[in-house]
Every structure is written in C-alpha cells, then in structure tokens.
C-alpha cells in the first residue's frame, strides 16, 4: 500500500518554524494500528488523518502523536485544512466540517489565514499539589486546572522564554501536560509554552488546544475577548484568538514543507 503524506508547518508563514504536522488525505480506510504506526514513524507532535464522509464538506479527522490518539489538536487541524485547500480537496472559502472526538469543528480559509471554530476549554483556579510556589525556579503567580492539564502563570514573558523544565519531573507530576503563560511583550498580549511528556511530546512547538484553555484563563484574568498570542518555543508560532460565548476562534497561517508517500 502506498499513502501520500505531506508535512505542513502551522501557525507560521515561514518554513522550519511554527509547529510541523503530517497530513494524510485518505481515499481508503486505515486501521487504528496503521495510523498509530504511521504517526510513530513520522515522529512529529501530530499526524492527522482526513477522510471524506457522506455529508457536504464533511470529513472525519483524527490526530495521533507518536504514542497515542488525542482528543483535540489545533495545529494539525489547521495544517489539514490548509493542505485540503492547496491540493483541491476543498475550495478556498469552503466551510469545512471536521467530525472529531471533540465534536464538529468548523474551519475555513480566508486569504492566507485559516480560521478555526474550537470549543472553549474551561479552567478553574486551583493550586497544584507539587508545583505549589514555583516551576523550576520561576515563581508561579496564579495557577488553574483543566481536564488532564495545568496552567501556571509566571512573572513575565522573559520567564516563559528562559524556563528550563526537567521533563522527567513534569511527566511524574502531570497527567497530560503543563502550560506556562504570562502577559506578552511587543505586539503580543500573551506568551506561553506547553510541555507534554506524557503524550510523547516534551515540548510542543505551537499548541492550538492549549490556547482554547488560555483564552478562557486570560478572559477571566483580564476580561479581554481578543488576544494575539505567541508560543515561545524554539520554533515559535503566532495565533490570533477571539472568544465567542463558549467557543474560541483561532486564526493562523501555514506553509507546506514537503510531500511524499509512505509504502507499507
């Protein structure tokens, strides 16, 4: 069997930055075991699998890290929609309806931007039982809990950039991962990073799902319903966020890096 596969850098317009995702547009069924094996072979934070359904502009979308299938992934959704438009699977401006483990996600292209309608992830102020006062030397000013993850607000953007976590400790004291965040600098409202060693990703370059929670967190903290966000990983990435009741609109750009095929 031969399967076309494309790598796309998401939340950026420059190659070798943003968050890379592999995208497979499927004309045939694959088993869960096959999809997981392909994701392990690609060894990216996410590999996305897209298959047409019977509905208009409707597609099944699944996301796999190298080790597990996950419930929600922003950058691989953006990469999938971007590549669907570029390859002719969808037309520019089409409302793409992705059927996922997190419900239906609506995505469309608008010029160079991809706009995604995602669920807002609620956060609740709570102190972490282990990281009570600091996160590897950086003072935790506020903390919040979301399903299987934590948010720690540090002093400023410089603390986000300079943080050097011990991933074995993060793995031991988290279920999925930990998001660190702070008020931004320059033109950005917020900075963040995401560490997820328990899902096979020590540090994710740019994390869409984390910003579904960060939008809720910062709305509670600042009252702002629109945020320009920067994820301060080594690769870096830019996201534009807007809270709309219990949804969050995430806007970003993407660029194709390579295309080929897997034979198995």
Active-site residues: which are they? 46
Report which of 33, 9, 12, 39 is spatially closest to residue 21, judged by C-alpha positions. Answer: 9
* Total length of the chain: 264
Partner residues linked to 211 by β-bridges? none
* Separation CA 180–CA 193 (nearest Å): 5
Structure tokens at 124: 């609740």
**Alpha-carbon gap, residue 234 to 220, rounded angstroms:** 28
Q: Is 235 helix (H, G, I), strand (E, B) or coil?
A: coil
119, burial (CB in 10 Å: exposed 0-12, middle 13-18, buried 19+): middle
């Amino acid at each position: 069997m031969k399967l076309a596969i494309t790598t796309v850098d998401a939340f950026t317009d420059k190659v070798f930055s943003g968050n890379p995702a592999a995208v497979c547009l499927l004309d045939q069924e694959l088993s869960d075991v096959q999809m997981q094996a392909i994701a392990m072979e690609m060894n990216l934070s996410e590999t996305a699998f897209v298959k047409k359904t019977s509905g208009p502009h409707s597609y099944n979308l699944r996301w796999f890290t190298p080790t597990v299938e996950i419930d929600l992934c922003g950058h691989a959704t953006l990469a999938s929609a971007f590549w669907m438009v570029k390859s002719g699977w969808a037309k520019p401006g089409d409302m793409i309806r992705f059927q996922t483990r997190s419900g239906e996600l609506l995505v469309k292209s608008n010029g160079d931007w991809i706009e995604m309608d995602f669920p807002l992830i609620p956060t609740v102020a709570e102190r972490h039982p282990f990281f009570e006062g600091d996160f590897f030397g950086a003072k935790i000013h506020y903390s919040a809990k979301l399903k299987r993850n934590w948010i720690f607000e540090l002093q400023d953007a410089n603390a986000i950039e300079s943080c050097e976590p011990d991933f074995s400790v993060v793995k031991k004291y988290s279920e999925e991962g930990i998001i660190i965040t702070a008020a931004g600098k320059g033109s950005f409202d917020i900075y963040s990073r995401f560490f997820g060693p328990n899902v096979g990703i020590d540090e994710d370059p740019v994390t869409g799902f984390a910003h579904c929670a960060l939008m809720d967190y910062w709305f509670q903290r600042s009252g702002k319903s629109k945020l320009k966000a920067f994820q301060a990983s080594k690769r870096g990435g830019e996201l534009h966020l807007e809270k709309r009741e219990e949804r969050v609109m995430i806007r970003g750009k993407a660029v194709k890096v390579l295309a080929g095929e897997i034979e198995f």
